Amino acid sequence: MDELRIRFERLKRQLNRKFNKNRKSKNKNRKRPHAGTKKKRPKPRERAEIIREEPRVKSRPKEERIQKAASTNKKRKKKKLTKEEFEKRKKKKRKENITEIIKFMLPIVLFAVFVFFFILNTSPHMVDGDSMKPTLLDGDRVIVRRTKEPKRYEVITFSPPVKSEFQYVKRIIGMPGDLVWTEGNDLFINHQADSLPKASELSDANELPDGTIKVNISEDSLAQMSQLKKIPKGHYFVLGDNRNNSSDSRAFGLVDGQAIEGVVSFRFAPFNNIGWIK
């Protein structure tokens, strides 16, 4: 038993020695870094790998940078405008607005002119004189609609049966088929009666038939009208609204329908008196 113990202790000692030797050899292989030494820089390949692993940030283009810089400069450089500069800007804005309105309205106006003058067969005129007061005044600008058959009490333009460089504008009072008779220098027109009144009823003292118009006419007109019992077809008796200052059928007689240009339908100037003519 003693021998066995001795052997076991020998083996134990030998194992402890071997274990201690291996442990010392491992510690010798490990080199501790000195306190004053610097870390070695990674090689260029290692750097490239590190850069690849890191997320890349996209660089902004130069134009965006310039724009942002300009906007920031503008914000910084904002100055208070003077009164003169403010008024100049206002005037510029007004001019721009006016030009835009003109550009928008010009095609509409041209289209309206085309419709009036070509499709509706109209023409513009300017009133000269006071014979149609208060309906039309001197200087009024009107549109005449061409028509072959004007109606009673419409205002027409026509070439008068007297020497004149201008057209006349008057109102139709007598239509074709109206009864007419004369007494002295007076002319009577009636569009309601079927026949002329009797000779005893033609006196001024007697009451005139309903719808009769009495007009004092000149000798030239009397010579024409005294020969008629009715206004002939295609002829018209016209008067100015301002009877005291008008040269009309009282002076030159009936107007031929072929001399009529058209009916005055609309006044477009002056602007404060725009409207339809009745």
Residues annotated as catalytic (active site), given as ranges: 131, 170
Q: Report how far residue 224's alpha carbon sits from residue 50's, in angstroms, rounded to the nearest whole number.
A: 122
Strand partners, 144: 123, 264
Please count the other Cβ atoms lying within 10 Å of the Cβ belonging to residue 190: 20
